[in-house]
Amino acid sequence: MILGGWPFPLDLRARAPKLKWFHQRPAGASNLLIGDLWGSDVAVTTSRGAGNTLAMAEYAVAGILHFAKGLDRALTDRAAGKFDHRAYRPLMIEGKTACVVGAGGIGLDVGRLCAALGMRVVGTRRTPLQPGEPLPSGFSELGGPADLDRFLPDSDFVAICCQWTPETTRLFDKDRFALMKKGSILVNVARGEIVDEDALAEALDQGRLRGVVLDVYVGEFEHLPPARLWSDPRVLITPHISGASDDERHRGVDLFCDNLRAYLAGRPLHNVIDWDRGY
């Protein structure tokens, strides 16, 4: 068994032919796609739901507030060396609708914080609520993937928090951006591949979005963000730091220890990757 972090050896299965179980501290599974563990007979577990979910939720809310309150204009004014008071168009947060795409560990915290600010919160997850299952704290409605298109036209803020899988690759494409409420704000704290960046740039060119906050982008570990997005004042891009804070609450090692006890006792492990599902 191996407890790993980021990055991990791409040929780990070949180098450790007797390996039975690998646990990675990161919450997502997409980094494993390029290694030889993916689809192998090795049991692979992740720290899904045990990361710094609250820090990431606070980042998402901060991103919403950055553009909702017009703080982006302050940067433009500073660069121009003068104020343009009429260009500021602050929004009242209370009463607005926030859509959480992927109401898992991160998404549940995003929804709770948005509700605490007075927003109406709707969301999606892989499986809709089952009969008798209570709504998560702060959510007024929680649906399945098919409900996303119904939620987008009424959502002032959209937070992408879902796993990157074949089903969510370029989930936000030209058609989805066309469905989004004009003047809405998009925040992505999941994976860059969930957003079609060309379609995003077109939506910005069309003036459909008030602001975009990206903590991730396609190829983030290989190159800088696309210049077309990074140079746009309506786009705020950070280098995958939404989970960082001065208060370390990552419970990945605790989850590994729980799984280790289960492994030694012959019990099922938590957070085993389903290769077909993608996480």
Rounded to whole angstroms, the Cα distance separating 188 from 176 reads: 15
Q: What are phi and psi of 141, to 5 degrees?
A: -160, 140
Strands (E), 52-131: 97-101, 120-124
The set of residues, in sequence order, having a beta carbon less than 8 Å from that of 85 and lying 6+ positions away, is none
Q: How many CB atoms lie within 10 A of CB 190?
A: 27
Rounded to whole angstroms, the Cα distance separating 54 from 20 reads: 32
In the DSSP assignment, the letter for residue 268 is P
CA 195 to chain centre: 11
**In which residue are the tokens 């008030």 written?**
210
CA-angle at 247, arms to 70 and 92, nearest 5°? 20
The set of residues, in sequence order, having a beta carbon less than 8 Å from that of 130 and lying 6+ positions away, is none
Among 181, 216, 168, 202, which residue's Cα sits nearest to residue 26? 216
CB of 129 closer than 8 Å to CB of 142: yes
Tokens of 147: 């409900």
Which amino acid is present at 120? Answer: R
CB of 66 closer than 8 Å to CB of 72: yes
Annotated catalytic sites, by residue? 191, 220, 240
CB of 212 closer than 8 Å to CB of 185: yes
